[in-house]
């Protein structure tokens, strides 16, 4: 079944047609190829240096800097004969596909309800629905243990009513459910943007023939957004493979291990860290995800074609839900929001203001503010808060500028260099943040000119930049693609160079989009935790990684307070994003 045929408004461009319209070989004068090569070259260095180091490390018998290290396949031999590796691999696969099975239908449904129907409170819902995406999974997992863990306050309430707790979040199904619910926004983001760009004539036509909302969505809307759904599924499988926080907090106690926690285990299993084994697992993750990247690319190409032809005044008329439809839809969304926003954030909030909780404890007796006063007494904690703000606000702005430079390099470019660019961008996505952080720690330690930057926030910024690359670039590309090609073409025909066209036409048009992208990148940097574990030091602490290191000594009170601060900062970032007119959904 070809979805193209059923979506007549979105005429797909074949590669040949695309090249005819935007020839690969632009006129020599004002050709951006030089700029393009420089940018892609620099980006390749930034991404391939750590990735290359990891691949190199995987073929050695000891740490790459050790005099005892020599070339060999021992590390591969160990990993590929370790039954724990296969168990972790299997668990990861079940976890990822299970997560997708929950997130994709639910995200698709939410996208449909919010973009294609006349559901009430649309503007508010659009924002609320994305909230789980902006909270780091480690914070979410802590929050869930306090609210719906075996002795969480919700669990204890349910037990007092039913006599038992009907769920267990410390199990694979529990982890899958939580991960699935918290990844709904990732699906919503892609699918709603595809749905927004669909013209509504077909749905309206179907409705006039007497088809129900359900029939219309199944027979008309669903086929048209299928590519976006598949794309979102592929992306979520990728995300599932690199999830760390949820398995660390919820899977660990019962020995449920996924590939990322298996890597984490390799740091202690042999007493001293076995970097070569960690590298092998990271390489395996890359090899698993490369086909997904390839698939994403093919789908993204289609998605772009739709997007390029959308926005041409296709009015989106909404389907009428009717009174009972409204109630059903709103309670559905309300229930999902309760489970994936209220429960974890409520849990963290409670935990931050008490020093004990659980069975037989009256929370009101335990209320305290000491968890927060500690932030002012211990320099590393307030440093962490200040640094996190600097890194996300200033670093976020710098990142947007850099992503824009990269986005322009790939803008309206159908050449080979764009293929290279797409793979480079998605490569770091495949690696766990922990491993990327470790690799950058070494890059900044061993590359002579970079060494002075290691103990500064710059090293963290570069690692964050690479980790956030695929998300950030997609945001920018989404904005850039909305500039009507005619505007650029007319500028070019009057003799403007590509650089001038970008400066005077493209960038002014996308400026509002840039502000929104800045706020979103800010939030992404705010919630990052694994990347900084190896990079932060005295004076360069960040909230997320502080929580991971505090976990070792059991300062749960401090962790809860830091989590709440991080949520409040995220809320501020989100409010800013909305003020700046961020189109979160595009």
Partner 1 sequence: MNKYVSGRLAAVAVTAVMTAFSAHAQEVPAGYPADYAELIAKAKQEGTVSIYTSTDAAQSQKLQDAFTKKYGIKIAYNDLGTNGAYNQVISEAAASQTTADIVWSSAMDLQMTLVQDGYAAEYASPEAGTLPSWANYKNTLYATTVEPIGVIYNTKALSEDKLPKTYGDMITFLKSNKTELQGKVATFDPEKSGSGFLHHSNDARNRPDFWDLAKAMGDNGAKIYSSSGGMKETVVSGENVIAINIIGSYALDWVKESPNLGVHFATDYTPAFSRLALITKDAPHSNAAKLFVDFMLSSEGQSLLAEGGLPSIREDVTAGLNIKTLNERVGGGLKPIAVDEGVLEYMDQMKRVQFLNDWKAALGR
Provide the binding-site residues for partner 1, judged by CB under 8 A.
63, 65-66, 145, 149-152, 248-249, 252-255, 264-265, 267-273, 355-361, 365-366, 370, 374, 377-381, 441-442, 445-446, 451, 454-455, 533-534, 537-539, 541, 549-559
CB of residue 90 vs partner 1: minimum separation in angstroms?
16
Which three-class secondary structure state does DSSP give residue 454?
coil
CB of residue 377 vs partner 1: minimum separation in angstroms?
7
Apex CA 308: angle with CA 306 and CA 311, to 5°?
A: 90
Of 152 and 472, CB closest to partner 1:
152
Task: Please give the torsion angle defined by the CA atoms of residues 393, 395, 397 and 401, in that order, rounded to the nearest 10 degrees.
Answer: -170
Of 70 and 320, CB closest to partner 1:
70
Distances in Å between the Cα of 400 and the Cα atoms of 27, 40, 336, 501, 534 are 29, 16, 32, 19, 24
Neighbours of 263 (CB within 10 A): 24
DSSP H helical ranges for 353-414: 370-377, 379-410
CB of residue 346 vs partner 1: minimum separation in angstroms?
16
CB of residue 360 vs partner 1: minimum separation in angstroms?
4
Which H/E stretch holds residue 225?
A: helix 222-242
3-state DSSP: the chain helix, strand, coil percent, rounded to 5?
Answer: 75, 0, 25
CB of residue 297 vs partner 1: minimum separation in angstroms?
36
Enter the tokens of residue 379. 């320099």
Of 146 and 431, CB closest to partner 1:
146
Burial (Cβ within 10 Å: 0-12, 13-18, ≥19) of residue 127: middle
CB of residue 370 vs partner 1: minimum separation in angstroms?
8
Of 200 and 261, CB closest to partner 1:
261
Of 326 and 380, CB closest to partner 1:
380
The residues pairing with 102 across neighbouring beta strands, listed in sequence order, are none
CB of residue 441 vs partner 1: minimum separation in angstroms?
7
Measured CA to CA, the distance from residue 528 to residue 433 in angstroms comes to: 9
CB of residue 388 vs partner 1: minimum separation in angstroms?
16
Of 331 and 451, CB closest to partner 1:
451
Q: Which string of b and e fits 534-559 if b means at least 16 CB within 10 Å?
A: bbbeeebbbbbbbbbebeeeebbbbb
CB of residue 512 vs partner 1: minimum separation in angstroms?
42
CA 497 from centroid of its chain's CA atoms = 35
Distances in Å between the Cα of 272 and the Cα atoms of 88, 93, 267, 276 are 22, 29, 7, 12
Report, in angstroms and rounded to the nearest whole number, the Rg of the chain calculated over CA atoms.
25
- Residues 6+ away with beta carbon under 8 Å from 514: 400, 404, 476, 479, 507
CB of residue 440 vs partner 1: minimum separation in angstroms?
12
Burial (Cβ within 10 Å: 0-12, 13-18, ≥19) of residue 273: middle
CB of residue 534 vs partner 1: minimum separation in angstroms?
6
Of 365 and 486, CB closest to partner 1:
365
Of 403 and 534, CB closest to partner 1:
534
CB 253 within 8 A of CB 170: yes
Of 149 and 199, CB closest to partner 1:
149
Measured CA to CA, the distance from residue 244 to residue 241 in angstroms comes to: 9
Of 210 and 360, CB closest to partner 1:
360
Locus of tokens 């962790």: 559
Of 379 and 508, CB closest to partner 1:
379
């Amino acid at each position: 079944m070809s979805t193209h045929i059923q979506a007549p408004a979105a005429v797909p461009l074949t590669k040949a047609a695309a090249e005819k319209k935007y020839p690969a070989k632009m006129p020599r004068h004002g050709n951006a190829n030089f700029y393009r090569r420089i940018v892609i070259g620099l980006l390749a260095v930034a991404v391939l240096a750590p990735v290359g180091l990891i691949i190199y490390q995987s073929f050695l018998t000891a740490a790459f800097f050790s005099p005892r290290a020599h070339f060999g396949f021992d590390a591969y031999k160990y990993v590929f004969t370790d039954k724990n590796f296969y168990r972790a691999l299997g668990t990861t696969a079940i976890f990822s596909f299970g997560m997708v099975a929950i997130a994709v239908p639910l995200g698709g449904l939410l996208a449909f309800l919010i973009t294609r129907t006349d559901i009430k409170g649309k503007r508010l819902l659009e924002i609320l629905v994305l909230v789980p995406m902006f909270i780091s999974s480690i914070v979410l997992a802590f929050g869930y243990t306090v609210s719906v863990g075996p002795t969480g306050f919700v669990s204890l309430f349910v037990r007092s009513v039913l006599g038992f707790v009907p769920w267990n979040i410390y199990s694979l199904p529990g982890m899958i459910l939580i991960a699935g619910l918290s990844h709904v926004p990732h699906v919503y983001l892609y699918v709603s943007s595809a749905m927004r760009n669909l013209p509504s004539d077909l749905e309206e036509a179907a409705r006039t023939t007497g088809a129900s909302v359900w029939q219309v969505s199944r027979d008309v809307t669903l086929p048209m957004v299928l590519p976006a759904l598949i794309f979102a599924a592929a992306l979520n499988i990728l995300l599932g493979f690199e999830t760390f926080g949820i398995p660390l907090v919820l899977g660990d106690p019962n020995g449920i291990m996924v590939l990322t926690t298996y890597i984490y285990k390799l740091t202690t299993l042999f007493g001293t860290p076995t970097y070569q084994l960690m590298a092998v697992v990271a390489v395996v993750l890359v090899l698993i995800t490369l086909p997904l990247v390839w698939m994403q690319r093919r789908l993204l190409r289609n998605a772009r074609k739709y997007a390029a032809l959308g926005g041409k005044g296709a009015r989106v008329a909404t389907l009428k839900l009717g009174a009972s439809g409204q109630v059903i839809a709103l309670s559905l969304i309300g229930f999902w929001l309760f489970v994936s926003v209220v429960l974890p954030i409520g849990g963290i909030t409670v935990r931050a203001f008490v020093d004990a909780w659980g069975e037989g404890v009256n929370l009101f007796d335990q209320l305290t503010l000491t968890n927060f006063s500690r932030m002012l007494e211990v320099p590393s904690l307030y440093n962490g808060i200040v640094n996190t703000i600097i890194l996300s606000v200033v670093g976020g702005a710098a990142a947007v500028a850099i992503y824009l430079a990269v986005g322009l390099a790939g803008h309206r470019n159908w050449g080979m260099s764009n293929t290279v660019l797409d793979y480079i961008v998605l490569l770091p996505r495949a690696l766990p943040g922990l491993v990327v952080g470790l690799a950058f720690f070494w890059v900044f330690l061993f590359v002579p000119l970079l060494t002075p930057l290691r103990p500064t926030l710059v090293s963290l910024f570069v690692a964050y930049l690479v980790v956030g690359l695929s998300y950030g670039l997609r945001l920018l590309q989404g904005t850039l693609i909305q500039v009507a090609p005619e505007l650029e073409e007319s500028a070019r025909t009057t003799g403007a160079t590509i650089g001038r066209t970008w400066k005077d036409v493209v960038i002014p048009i996308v400026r509002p989009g840039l502000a929104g992208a800045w706020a979103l990148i800010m939030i992404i940097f705010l919630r990052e935790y694994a990347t900084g574990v190896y990079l932060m030091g005295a004076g360069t602490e960040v909230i997320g990684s502080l929580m991971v290191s505090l976990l070792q000594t059991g300062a749960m009170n401090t962790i809860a307070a830091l989590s709440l601060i991080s949520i409040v900062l995220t809320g501020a970032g989100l409010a800013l994003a909305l003020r700046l007119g961020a189109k979160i959904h595009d």
